[in-house]
Homo-oligomer: A and B are copies of this chain.
Amino acid sequence: MKLATQDNGTPDGALVVVSADGTRFLGASDVANTLQAALDGWATAEPALRALADRLAGGEGESASNLALAAPLPRAWQWLDGSAFRSHGELMETLFGTEPPPAGRPLMYQGLSHQFLSATADVPLPREEDGIDFEGEFGIITDFVPMGVTPEQALAHIKLVVQINDWSLRALAPIEMKTGFGWVQAKPACSVAPFAVTPDVLGDAWREGRVHLPLSVDWNGKRFGDALGGVMEFGFHDLVAHAASTRSLCAGTIIGSGTVSNSNFREIGSSCIAERRGIEMLDEGKPRTEFMRFGDTVRMEARMPDGGVLFGAIDQKVIRG
């Protein structure tokens, strides 16, 4: 089942169910006005939403060609972003002389959740000098998760899978990171691909709490990376359990994978500029690739192994804010 949020001018938009190919939709207001409301009562909402998905599979629904879509959750009560790809972490540790995290502990920060940009919204940022960068990620959305769940229990709380661009300002990131307090200025609002899908949509590509698909990233129309999501050191269920160790998680908690990265990044590319610059620093002594300029575009999409539409594409432009 594929869910999306129609931009109807309200802060949370209107929940819609989308056909598997993303071309048709049915409004879901009889079930829940918003995706947050559906997640708040998922046990009853899910079967009713699946009934709408069945009708779409039977050919019903309106054309989605003129449907204005917001992020699946245009705002959320909680956004926690991991950094679960070791090849990315190891590269950063090599470059900055930082220590690896303690074994068995995922890296995670709490980020801005009061705004998630749509997949096609312009991204207003104040200064090019801040080092504007994208981060292609996979993510999940939970229902309510009680404090203290095990990773095995956590798996059942993963209700939706999403694709995220975690906008980052690299000139500010190390300054904030050095304080130990995490990022505020370095992490403005993220963007999210239009369709949030239930894990079953991924078929075999959803295994061990991981998305076993490549994330294709294009910067200004040129392929930048095709890293695979399946090599996360920790699965999303581990990240959920980590987050819920000392707190319960509200329904609608979004958890990110961190920038998708593979150890053969020299061949397949990267999901953020910082990683490519890091490789250049290692290989050539200094970074050659500059960060983004106002007017630059980034496109990110993961498709099914047969080429079918999955989350839809993020395709957006950075502008002076």
Q: Which residues of B contact A107 (CB under 8 A)?
A: 179, 181
Q: Is A182 an interface residue (CB 8 A)?
A: yes
> Is B172 touching A246 in the complex (CB atoms < 8 A)?
yes
In the assembled complex, the CB of A104 is this many whole angstroms from the nearest CB of chain B, namely: 11
Q: Is the CB of B246 within 8 A of A130?
A: yes
| Contact between A126 and B179, CB atoms less than 8 A apart | no
Report the separation of the CA atoms of residues A180 and B92 in the bound assembly, to the nearest whole angstrom. Answer: 12
Residues of B within 8 A of A80 (CB): 184
- Do B110 and A112 touch (CB < 8 A)? yes
Centre residue among A177, A188, A246, A249 by max chain B CB count within 10 A: A246
User: Please, which residue of chain B has its CB at the minimum distance from the CB of A247?
Assistant: B188
Residues on B with C-beta less than 8 A from A75 are 77, 250
CB distance from A143 to the nearest CB of B (A): 13
CA distance A219 to B246 in the complex (A): 22
Is A273 positioned at the interface, with any CB of B under 8 Å from its CB?
no
Query: What 0/1 pattern do residues 160 to 199 of A give for CB contact below 8 A with B?
Result: 0000000001001001011111111110110000000000
CB-CB under 8 A from A6, the residues of chain B are none
Residue in B148, B185, B249 whose beta carbon sits within 8 Å of that of A242 in the complex: B185
Copy tally for this chain in the complex stands at 2
CB neighbours of A102 from chain B (8 A): 175
Say whether B242 contacts A83, CB under 8 Å. no
Q: A114: CB under 8 A from chain B?
A: yes
A115 within 8 A of B: yes
Interface residues as binary, A229-249 with B (CB distance below 8 Å gives 1, 0 otherwise): 000000000000011011111
Chain B residues with Cβ below 8 Å from A59 are none
18 A-B pairs, CB-CB below 8 angstroms? Answer: A77-B77, A77-B113, A78-B114, A101-B179, A102-B175, A108-B184, A110-B111, A110-B182, A114-B253, A115-B247, A124-B147, A130-B246, A148-B321, A169-B246, A177-B181, A181-B183, A185-B243, A186-B246
